[in-house]
């Protein structure tokens, strides 16, 4: 019983997924052999795992196999303590290169440290200069190689250094096995996103009997695309909904359709096709926007393009991974090596490219289409080059890691010495994009007609359009980490409660990041298709990508760091253990930091434990956040109309407002005065088992961070443009020569943030006439969260509130899992739930009973709570075969309607929020494993 209690207390029972191995006390166990000392996540000291005092969640390989998840990204998304992580669907319209991260308690992906077998890994090679994706890409970890996942929901910067403010996730791979495992699987959602997978694991040699062991794991999986048209909740940008006793309409669109919209002589955006035919063309709908400038009334009346119809809301993907681990005994020590190679290929497609072209007065196009509408001067057409086909991003993310080391005992010390190299390389290819000058030349020559519909260009024009298409490398990056580390632990002296333990360590790291935009992305080509450089003796004009001002700059930046730490564990009396840790880090580019942690564990009885910790943390900015030059950085997430204040800001910058409702270009860059984030965090929890069939526990945690990294919110700046004079710049549109206002989203230390919550779990067991029933409930509850968007500014909260912070923190998130074991079958019914929230204030049309627009209102829609049910059965007829079959989202529950469209790390999907809800719907799956 005492041993079982220690096991329960160390693992936190079955937190997160609710699928970890049950505490040993729930079962009749034969006498156990003596437990070996191991290193547990959250401590540098080798000790019996059951003695740990920090909240560590353990998810085993068997539990992962039974859960039905097919990737590490899916696994962490199901953990109740994980919120705010980026998923693969964010690549739809966003340059994420397929990145999937993990954020504990929504404190941040960049503040959550990911380890592989306790070793650091290189950050994602596709990270941006603002810090997005500056974490580890979970797609690089092969699910089939994992023995267990340990998740520490307590800041551990004193042991691990920067990035561990929110917590630590340690993926531990299989070792010292001689059996083989072949697994095949298939997942079947409706109409797309179907997966096939295969994995092989084989061990050779026994470490105890042969003195060596080699483990080899290979995994391959493929997924098909899922189009927006396959889901009724995601298939259009024009939606009606009810709220507040009224009927509303919201339109998500682009002002660049086919045929084109134009500006009239008053600067109003109109549709020639609408004016001449009385209706909007296919894939568009009518948009009417009245506004006032300097007391004069204007009306934009045009056709908005429904780009939502063209999206693939779940990307096509292929992944391959190879994990090789070797261990041998030599001179009484263990020499080991771990090598991981992985590659993820992903393709995502969105609507054909939009952009602007100039239409000069007196040209054939002007005379034919615009003069009859009363347009007499030069103007600009807002056009979509539909005949070029969908824009496609083909991304390849490669990861390589090699660790070589020695561990064992020497002179009374348990030690681990290692060298670690890891590298993340990302390449993004594009197709369906032309150069802006190439399109402008086609229009001015009269060959391209932007006022005809899809497929109505002349044969010569179609051939010329196809010749402008750029297909090839666009952008990418490489991130490398070289690290040398030495840790050791030993017993110092006997105290009343046991041996005092000391752990020490030292590490040396070298980080390097290189941004590698193509010459096209740099704006350094006169002819992107031919690869002709601009400038030179001929003075050729530089072209850029049609539709956006792309002029990324290549750069390489390096950083050296070193750290030293010490940890003490002191069992001062029989039932009370105290711990302390301290760490010193020095960075070559911005200085030093000292962090520390104190902890305790008190066990007044054999079935009750209280534990807690307090410490401070430190998070260094990424190399790009410090060193990148100011450059183009995409566009704003929302459309904005030109208010009088925005017009004033544009004039002050010698620029123009964008016509109609439009996205604005963004600028961003590094900041060499950026200070590191500093944190204070604490936890307090208990574990209690009143009797054999019931165990429960809770941990309350809090994190306070100052000098947080970030950018001023575009929503805040556009709402008060005159208050932020340093947040503006300008960008010249190459196709039209017009200098438009641009939003500057540069890196800053924004202020402070605070977060507090409770992680609950309860496990009950009951033996029924049909078998053993286990019920596990895990809930992560947020009590407080608030943050500033500027130094000394107002505090905002994201708890049940999608507004200023650009994200949502669910007040309650959890899983209720019920498993019945009967003979060779284990059947589980799970409920996964998230509480509701208030959506961002959104301007919508008000409809009367006949569906006619009567006005507009700002509405804050209440998004409903959301729950899905999963059913799965594991059949194990013998020690050789295992078959898992099940259905995820059993009732085929659709994501709740969400009218807003903006938000950090969000794709172009509309009608639901792809960050929080899965569009795949009901998914049947089967996995079969053969062991020999």
- CA 53-59-63 angle, to 5 degrees, is 145
Angle between helices 436-444 and 459-467 in degrees, nearest 10: 160
Joined tokens for residue 571: 């069992």
β-strand partners of 434: 469
For the four alpha carbons of 637, 641, 642 and 644, in that order, the dihedral sign comes to: negative
The 3-state secondary structure of 33-85, one letter per residue: CCCCEEECCCCCCEEEHHHCCCCEEEEEHHHHHHHCCCCHHHHHHCCCCECCC
Parallel/antiparallel/unpaired status of strands 226-227 and 238-243: unpaired
Closest among 898, 899, 895 to 922, alpha carbons compared: 895
- The backbone torsions φ and ψ at residue 369, rounded to the nearest 5 degrees and listed phi first, read -105, -30
Residue 587, preceding peptide bond in cis (omega within 30° of 0):
no
Task: Report how far apart, in Å, the C-alpha atoms of 49 and of each of 44, 62, 610, 654 are.
Answer: 12, 19, 17, 65
| The predicted structure's pLDDT at residue 538 | 82
Residue 735 to residue 20: CA distance in whole angstroms: 58
Q: Enumerate residues 6+ apart whose C-beta is below 8 A from 549.
A: 632, 665, 731, 732, 733, 734, 742
Answer positive or negative: Cα dihedral of 66, 70, 76, 79.
negative
Question: Which domains does the chain show, CATH number per domain?
Answer: 2-230+314-349+394-428+496-515+557-625+675-711+748-931 (2.40.170.20), 631-668+712-745 (no CATH)
Q: Is 817 helix (H, G, I), strand (E, B) or coil?
A: strand
- In order, the DSSP letters of 109-155 are GGGEEEEETTEE-PPPTT--TTSTT-S--GGGS-GGGEEEEEEE-S-
By residue count, the chain amounts to 932
CA distances, 868 to each of 194, 490, 814, 861 (Å): 19, 48, 11, 22
- How many Å apart are CA 97 and CA 522, to the nearest integer? 18
* Beta-bridge partners for 686: 610, 698
At residue 825, the pLDDT reads 95
Predicted local confidence at residue 61, as pLDDT: 85
Strand partners of residue 354: 384
pLDDT along the chain (932 residues), means of 10: 34 35 33 52 59 75 80 85 90 88 93 93 93 92 90 81 87 92 95 95 94 96 96 95 94 95 94 95 92 84 96 95 96 95 96 94 95 95 95 97 96 95 97 93 92 94 94 96 96 93 95 95 93 89 84 89 94 93 90 91 91 92 88 83 91 90 87 91 93 92 95 86 92 85 91 96 93 95 93 92 91 95 94 96 92 92 96 93 94 95 86 94 95 91
Task: Provide the 8-state DSSP code for 367.
Answer: I
Query: What is the reported pTM?
Result: 0.90
Tokens of 652: 């002050």
Dist. CA 645–CA 500, nearest whole Å: 66
**CA nearest to 914, candidates 927, 930, 900:** 900
Give residue 404's pLDDT. 98
Give the C-alpha separation, 301 to 117, whole Å.
60
Q: How far apart are CA 688 and CA 672, in angstroms?
A: 50
Residues 800-818 have pLDDT tens digits of 999 888 899 999 999 999 9
Using alpha carbons, list the distances in angstroms from residue 731 to 443, 662, 665.
22, 15, 7
Placement of tokens 């569906």 in the chain:
851
What is the DSSP track for 651-697? HHTT-BPPSSSB--EEEE---TTPPPEEEEEEEEEEEEEEETTEEEE
Helix (H) or strand (E) holding 404: strand 391-410
Query: How high is the pLDDT of residue 549?
Result: 67
Q: Give whole-number Cα distances, 229 to 141, 354, 593, in Å.
A: 32, 21, 52
The secondary structure of the chain in percent helix, strand, coil, rounded to multiples of 5, reads 10, 50, 35
Q: Would you state the structure tokens that stand for residue 328, as one six-digit string?
A: 């041998």
């Amino acid at each position: 019983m005492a041993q079982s209690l220690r096991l329960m207390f160390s693992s936190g029972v079955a937190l997160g997924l609710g699928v970890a191995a049950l505490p040993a006390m729930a079962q009749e166990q034969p006498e156990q052999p003596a437990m070996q000392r191991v290193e547990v996540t959250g401590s540098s000291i080798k000790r019996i795992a059951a003695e740990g005092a920090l909240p560590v969640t353990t998810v085993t390989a068997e539990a992962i196999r039974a859960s039905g998840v097919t990737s590490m990204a899916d696994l962490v998304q199901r953990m109740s303590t994980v919120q705010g992580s980026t998923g693969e669907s964010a690549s739809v319209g966003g340059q994420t290169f397929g990145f999937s991260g993990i954020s504990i308690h929504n404190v941040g992906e960049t503040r959550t440290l990911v380890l592989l077998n306790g070793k650091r890994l290189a950050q994602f090679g596709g990270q941006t200069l603002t810090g997005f994706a500056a974490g580890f890409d979970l797609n690089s970890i092969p699910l089939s190689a994992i023995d267990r996942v340990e998740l520490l929901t307590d800041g551990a910067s004193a042991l691990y250094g920067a990035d561990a403010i929110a917590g630590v996730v340690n993926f531990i791979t299989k070792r010292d096995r001689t059996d083989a495992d072949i697994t095949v699987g298939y997942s079947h959602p409706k109409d797309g996103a179907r997966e096939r997978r295969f994995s092989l694991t084989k061990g050779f040699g026994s470490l105890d009997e042969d003195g060596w062991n080699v483990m080899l794991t290979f995994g391959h999986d493929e997924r098909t695309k899922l189009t927006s048209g396959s889901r009724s909740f995601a298939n259009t940008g024009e939606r009606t909904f009810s709220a507040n006793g009224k009927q509303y309409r919201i339109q998500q669109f682009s002002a660049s359709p086919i045929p084109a919209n134009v500006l009239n002589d008053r600067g109003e955006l109109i549709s020639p096709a609408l004016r001449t035919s009385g209706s909007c063309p296919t894939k568009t709908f009518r948009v009417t926007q009245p506004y006032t400038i300097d007391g004069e009334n204007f009306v934009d009346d045009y056709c908005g393009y429904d780009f939502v119809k063209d999206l693939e809301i779940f990307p096509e993907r292929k992944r391959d991974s190879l994990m090789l681990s070797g261990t041998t005994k030599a001179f009484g020590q263990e020499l080991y090596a771990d090598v991981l190679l992985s590659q993820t290929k992903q393709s995502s497609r969105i609507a054909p490219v939009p952009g602007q072209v100039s239409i000069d007065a007196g040209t054939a196009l002007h005379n034919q289409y615009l003069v009859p509408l009363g347009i007499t001067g030069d103007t600009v057409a807002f056009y979509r080059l539909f005949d070029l086909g969908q824009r496609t991003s083909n991304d390849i993310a490669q990861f390589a890691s090699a660790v070589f080391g020695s561990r064992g005992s020497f002179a009374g010390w348990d030690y681990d010495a290692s060298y670690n190299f890891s590298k993340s390389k990302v390449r993004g290819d594009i197709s369906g994009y032309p150069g802006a000058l190439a399109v402008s030349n086609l229009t001015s020559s009269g060959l391209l007609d932007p006022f005809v519909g899809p497929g109505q260009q002349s044969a010569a024009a179609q051939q010329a359009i196809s010749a402008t298409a750029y297909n090839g490398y666009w952008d990418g990056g490489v991130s490398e980490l070289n690290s040398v580390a030495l840790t050791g632990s030993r017993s110092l002296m006997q105290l009343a409660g046991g041996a005092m333990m000391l752990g020490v360590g030292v590490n040396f790291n070298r980080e390097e990041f290189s941004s590698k935009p193509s010459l096209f992305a740099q704006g350094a080509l006169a002819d992107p298709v031919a690869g002709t450089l601009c400038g030179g003796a001929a003075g050729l004009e530089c072209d850029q990508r049609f539709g956006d001002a792309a002029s990324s700059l290549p750069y390489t930046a390096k950083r050296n760091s070193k750290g030293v730490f010490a940890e003490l564990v002191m069992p001062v009396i029989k039932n009370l253990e105290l711990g302390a840790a301290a760490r010193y880090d020095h960075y070559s580019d911005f200085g030093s930091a000292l962090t520390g942690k104190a902890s305790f564990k008190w066990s007044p009885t054999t079935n009750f434990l209280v534990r807690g910790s307090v410490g401070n943390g430190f998070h260094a900015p990424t190399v790009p956040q410090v060193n990148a030059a100011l450059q183009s950085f995409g566009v704003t997430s929302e459309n904005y109309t030109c208010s009088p204040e925005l017009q004033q800001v544009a004039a002050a910058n010698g620029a123009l407002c964008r016509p109609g409702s439009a996205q604005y270009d963004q600028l961003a860059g590094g900041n060499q005065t950026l200070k590191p984030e500093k944190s204070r965090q604490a936890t307090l929890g208990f574990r209690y088992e009143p009797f054999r069939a019931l165990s429960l526990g809770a941990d309350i945690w809090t994190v306070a961070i100052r000098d947080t990294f970030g950018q001023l919110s575009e929503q805040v700046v556009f709402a008060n443009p005159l208050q932020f004079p340093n947040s503006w710049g300008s960008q010249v549109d190459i196709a039209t020569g017009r200098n438009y206002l641009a939003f500057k989203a540069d890196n800053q230390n924004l202020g402070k943030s605070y977060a507090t919550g409770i992680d609950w779990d309860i496990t009950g067991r009951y033996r029924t006439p049909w078998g053993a029933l286990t019920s596990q409930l895990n809930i992560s509850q947020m009590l407080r969260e608030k943050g500033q968007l500027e130094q000394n500014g107002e505090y905002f909260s994201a708890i049940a509130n999608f507004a200023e912070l650009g994200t949502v923190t669910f007040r309650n998130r959890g899983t209720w899992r019920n498993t019945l074991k009967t003979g060779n079958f284990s059947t589980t019914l799970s409920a996964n739930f998230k509480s509701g929230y208030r959506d961002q204030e959104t301007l919508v049309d008000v409809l009367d009973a006949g569906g006619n627009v009567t006005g507009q209102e700002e509405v804050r829609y209440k998004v409903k709570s959301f729950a899905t049910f999963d059913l799965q059965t594991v059949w194990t007829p013998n020690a050789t075969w295992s078959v898992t079959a099940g259905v995820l989202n059993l009732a085929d529950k659709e994501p709740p309607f969400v009218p807003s469209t903006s938000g950090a790390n969000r794709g172009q999907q509309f009608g639901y929020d792809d960050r929080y809800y899965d569009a795949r719907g009901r998914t049947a799956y089967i996995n079969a494993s053969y062991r020999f």
